[in-house]
Amino acid sequence: MVNAAERRLFWGTLVAVVVSDFATKLIAESFLARRLPLQVIGDTVQFRLVYNEGAAFGLHLGDNSRWIFLGLAIIALFVLASLVRGTRPGDRFRLVALALVCGGAVGNLIDRIRSAQGVVDFVDVGIGAWRWPTFNVADSAITIGAIALGLSLWQEGRAQQRAKEARAAEP
């Protein structure tokens, strides 16, 4: 990431995720604490306030989960920062993917720091008894960003393989 436009794209995306995540969590906490659940599309999509002390999909590591996952989030942010620094100039797709993952990680990290209750989750999707784990804006950003990052890395791997094959085929 070398030019100013790419830095603005990365930081703008990251800040947008963190701000929207934080704002929606504050709204969810103030509104949904009094009204559970709030149906958006029948029982398929509803807002329900949940505090997740663990990690994704309710992964829990005992009494110290908050601190373990806080530490892991900080380590992940350092790893992601190295990926950002290593991103080729002009690879905006990868920068946005990394910004989404970083923004989501920061959003959930803020929750772990500000409250012992855990991360605020409030989007509940499913059909009847079959429910996806409740999530938030940060979780969505992490998921979308991780999928996009995976695609970016896969495309880069394919391009490197094609270049290697082309070099091998040259006389």
Does the annotation mark 21 as catalytic? no
The single residue of 21, 111, 124, 139 carrying the catalytic annotation is 139
pLDDT in tens, 9-33: 999 999 999 999 999 999 999 988 8
- Pairwise CA distance, residues 146 & 152, whole Å: 10
- Pairwise CA distance, residues 93 & 79, whole Å: 18
The single residue of 21, 111, 121, 124 carrying the catalytic annotation is 121
pTM: 0.84
Does the annotation mark 43 as catalytic? no
Residues 6+ apart with CB under 8 A from 138: 17, 21, 103, 104, 105, 106, 107, 108, 119
For the chain, what are the domain ranges? 4-169
Q: What is the mean pLDDT of residues 149-168?
A: 85
pLDDT in tens, 58-117: 555 556 666 777 788 788 888 888 888 888 888 999 999 999 999 999 999 999 888 888
Helix H or strand E encompassing 96: helix 92-114
Helix, strand, or coil (residue 89): coil
Beta carbons of 17 and 104 less than 8 angstroms apart: yes
pLDDT in tens, 44-63: 999 999 988 766 555 555 56
